[in-house]
Structure 1
Amino acid sequence: MVARMPDAAYDAAAVPVMFGPDFDRNPSPAYEWLRSNAPAFRLPLPGDTWTWLLTRHADVVSAMADPRLSKCPSVAAEHWRKANLGLPADHRPTLIGHMNNVEGEEHARLRKACAGAFGPRRLQHMRDRTHRLANELLDPILDRGEGDLVEDFAYPLGIRSICELIGIPEGLLDEVRPPALVVAAGDVTDMASMLKATDDLDALLADVVARKRAEPGADLISDLLTQEAAGKLTDDEVAATAFLSLIAGHETTISLIASTALTLITHPEEAARARADGAHLTLVIEEVLRRDTPLQNTSWRFVTEPMELAGQRMEAGDPILLSLLAANRDPEVHPEPLAFRPGERPVRHVAFGVGPHICIGAALARMQASAALETLFDRAPSMTLTVPEDRLVWWPSAITRGLHNLPVKL
C-alpha cells in the first residue's frame, strides 16, 4: 500500500501524544483536539504502519453500522497484515475464526452458539457466585485493613469468574493468568512475548477442551462441544470462541469494577446513595461505562471499498479504530463530559458498541460489577485511597482502559 497523508489542514507539531503514561492517565485533552481538528486521524502505530482513528460520537456510531466496514482481517491491505498488529493470521490460525472476525450469517451463527452461556439462568448463577467470591476475596483485605482493589479484588474476581463460565478448572488459574495478561495488554512492540503467550493459552485451552469432551459440564466449552457434535461448529471455532471469551471476558469486568470503585471512593455522597439504593448503583455503573469506558477502542475494522468518512478519503484495505471512550466524552452528546452525574442524562453511551457486534458479554459485565460493588461497599463503606489519585497507574493499552493499581485503606 502506498502511504497516504490525510487532507486535514492542521499543524503536525500540534498533534497530541497518543501513547504513554500521561495519555493513559488523562486521554481527554488528546481526544478533544482530535474531535476538533482531525476527527478521522491517521494514527502512526508500531510495526511501521498506521490506522484511521475516529473520535466523534456521530462518526463512531455511523461506522459501527456501515456495511462498507468489515471486521474480517482477510480484507485488510497486505501491508497492514504483514505489520503483525494483534495476532498475526498465520500464527495459530485456529484462534482467528471467532465472532469478532466475521460478518453476516457467520457472525450470527457463532454468536448464537454462545447464547446459552450468557442467558438469564447462567447469569443468575454467576451473580450468586460473584457475591460469594467477592466476600471470599474481601476477607483477607479486611483482616489487613488495606489492600489493592485491582490485584487483590477485581482481577481475581474477573479471571476466576470467566474461567468458571468457560469451563477452565480453578486449578489452572495460575497457568492462565500470565499469558492472559500479556495477550489482553496487546503490546504490539513485544510480539515475541505476545506470540508465546498465545501459544501457551492455545495449548492450555486445547487441554481443557479435551477434558470437557470426556466430562462435559455446565459451561461454555461444553455447550460449544455439544453444537460441534451436532455439526454446527468446527474444532477451530470451538477453540477460537473459547480464546475470545477468555481474553475479552475478564478485562472489561476488571476495569469496570476498579474504575467504579475509584469513582465511588472519590464521590462518597454517591457511594452512600448507591449503598442505600441498588437502582442508583445501576445508574452509577452506566455513568462509569460512559465516562471511563473499559473498552477504549473497538477491535479493528477494515474498509472494503473506496469511501469518505469523517471528511477523509479512505481506500479498500485501510484499517480503522473507533474510539468508544472519545465518543462517550463527546460534548456534542454529553455536555460537560468529565462531570460525574449518574442518572442526570439519558444513557446514550456506546461502551459495549452498537449493532450486530455489540458485546455479547455486556449483561454479564454489568451484573458482575453490580454484585461485586454491592459487596465491597456494604463491607467497606469508608474506604480511602492510600496514594493521591494522580499517582494511580493506568494500563498502557490501545484497546482497554483500566487501572493497574488501586491501593486503599479500609
Structure 2
Amino acid sequence: MQQVTDSLIDAFAARGEAEIIAEFAYPLPITVICEVLGIPAADRSLFRQWTSNAVSVEPGDVDGRLSGTPSPGEYLRALVTTKRRAPEDDLISVLVEHEKQGGLSEPELVSMIFLLLIAGHENTAALIGNGIVALLDNPGQLTLLQERPELAAATVEEVLRYDGPMELAAWRFTTEPVEIGGTRIPPGEPVLIALAAAHHDPARFPEPDRFDLSRSDNPHLGFGYGLHHCLGAPLGRLEGEVALATLFSRLPDLALAMPAERLPRQPSSIVRGLHELPVVFTPVRSPRRSG
C-alpha cells in the first residue's frame, strides 16, 4: 500500500499540480482491492465507470455495455471461469472454491465480487478526498498531523465522522408500527438513516461541527454497525491513514486550486464524495519517499 501511494505521488510530484481524485484517491484503493480480489492489472480501468453508475443518483444500466467493453457481469463471469480452471492466491479463487462446495450460486458469486469491488474502493476514494479538504479547511489540525504523524489513525476516524463517505445506512424495513419524531411509520416501510446527520448530532458529539483530531470519544457509524458493520473497515482505515499521512508529508504546502465550495461533488445519494479535487503545490523534482 505504501509503495502504491508513493508511486502515484511520484507521477505528479514534479508538475506542481494534480487532480487528486483521478490521479490519487481513486487509483490507490482500486489497485489495492484488485490485488486482493485477483483482478488483472490491465483490466482495472474498466471498473471506475461501472462503479460510478452503481452509486449514482439515477443509476444507468450497470450491466450494460460501455463503448464496446464487456459489462461487469460478463467480465466477472469470464473471470470466475478462469479462476475455476486455474485458481490463484486471491479472494476470488477462495470464493470460487466456496461455490464449488455449494456455498454460493454463480449469480450470488458474481454479485458478491462486484459488491466487494465497489465497497473496496468507491468509499475509500471518497474518504481520502473528503479528508484532504477537511485538513486544508482546518490548517491547525493539518499542522498537528504533519508534526505528529502518529495521529493518522485519529485523523481517519475524525474524517469518517466529520465528512464521511457514506450518506445513508443500509436500508432497514419496519416489522411493526413505529413512531419517530411524531410521524407514524406502518410496518413494511423502508427507513433510511442519514449517517451524515447522525455524526453531527450535538447530543452525542460535543461541538460536532468542529474538526478535531484530538476527539477521543468518537463512536461514529462511518463503517456501519452490528451485522451491517463493513467487512473491509480495517483495509479502508489503513488506506486512509497511509494516503493522508504520506500526501501531506511529501507535499506539505499542498493547497486547493479552487474554492472548496466550488469543488464538484459526485451526483450520488449514497456516497458523499468529490468528483474532482484539483490541487497545487511546490513541484518536487526528486520525490522524497516517506517511511
Alignment of 1:187-198 (within 5 A): 187-188=57-58, 192-194=60-62, 196=64
Residue 321 in structure 1 maps to residue 168 in structure 2: no
Name the structure with the higher helix share. 1
Which residue of 2 is the match for residue 300 of structure 1? 171
Alignment of 1:25-104 (within 5 A): none
Cα contact 1:158–1:253 (8 A) shared by 2:
yes
Which residue of 1 is the match for residue 286 of structure 2? none
- How does the TM-score come out when normalised to structure 1? 0.64
Which residue of 1 is the match for residue 53 of structure 2? 182
Identical-residue share of aligned pairs (%): 37
Aligned partner of residue 356 in structure 1, secondary structure: helix
Aligned partner of residue 394 in structure 1, secondary structure: coil
Of 85, 94, 97, which residue of structure 2 is paired with 1:226? 97
Which residue of 2 is the match for residue 26 of structure 1? none
Aligned partner of residue 221 in structure 2, secondary structure: coil
**How many angstroms does 1:405 deviate by?**
1.4
Higher mean Cα deviation, 397-406 or 199-208? 199-208
Task: Specify whether residues 264 and 197 from structure 1 end up closer, same or farther in structure 2 by C-alpha distance, changes over 3 A only.
Answer: farther
Cα contact 1:163–1:169 (8 A) shared by 2:
yes
The Cα offsets for residues 116-137 of structure 1, whole Å up to 9 and x where unpaired, read as: xxxxxxxxxxxxxx21111111
Aligned partner of residue 247 in structure 2, secondary structure: helix
Residue 252 in structure 1 maps to residue 126 in structure 2: no
Aligned partner of residue 408 in structure 1, secondary structure: strand
Q: Which runs of 5+ in 1 are unaligned?
A: 1-129
**How many angstroms does 1:195 deviate by?**
5.2
Residue 367 in structure 1 maps to residue 238 in structure 2: yes
Aligned partner of residue 191 in structure 2, secondary structure: strand
Of 214, 235, 240, which residue of structure 1 is paired with 2:111? 240
Q: Distance in 2 between matches of 1:296 and 1:255?
A: 11
Q: Distance in 1 between matches of 2:252 and 2:77?
A: 43
- How does the TM-score come out when normalised to structure 2? 0.89
Higher mean Cα deviation, 241-250 or 193-202? 193-202
RMSD: 1.9
Q: Distance in 1 between matches of 2:100 and 2:250?
A: 46
Task: Specify whether residues 194 and 216 from structure 1 end up closer, same or farther in structure 2 by C-alpha distance, changes over 3 A only.
Answer: closer
Q: Distance in 2 between matches of 1:232 and 1:196?
A: 28
Which residue of 2 is the match for residue 155 of structure 1? 26
**How many angstroms does 1:359 deviate by?**
0.9
**How many angstroms does 1:206 deviate by?**
0.9
**How many angstroms does 1:291 deviate by?**
0.7
The Cα offsets for residues 304-360 of structure 1, whole Å up to 9 and x where unpaired, read as: 333334432222321111111100011111132111111234012111111111111
Aligned partner of residue 202 in structure 1, secondary structure: helix
Q: Distance in 1 between matches of 2:276 and 2:52?
A: 14
Q: Distance in 2 between matches of 1:388 and 1:264?
A: 14
Cα contact 2:173–2:187 (8 A) shared by 1:
yes
Q: Distance in 2 between matches of 1:339 and 1:161?
A: 32
Q: Distance in 1 between matches of 2:149 and 2:107?
A: 42
**How many angstroms does 1:387 deviate by?**
0.8
Q: Distance in 2 between matches of 1:391 and 1:192?
A: 26
Aligned partner of residue 71 in structure 2, secondary structure: helix
Q: Distance in 2 between matches of 1:277 and 1:192?
A: 44
Cα contact 2:62–2:71 (8 A) shared by 1:
no
Cα contact 2:155–2:241 (8 A) shared by 1:
no
**How many angstroms does 1:233 deviate by?**
2.7
Cα contact 1:394–1:403 (8 A) shared by 2:
yes
Aligned partner of residue 287 in structure 1, secondary structure: helix
Which residue of 2 is the match for residue 271 of structure 1? 142
**How many angstroms does 1:364 deviate by?**
0.8
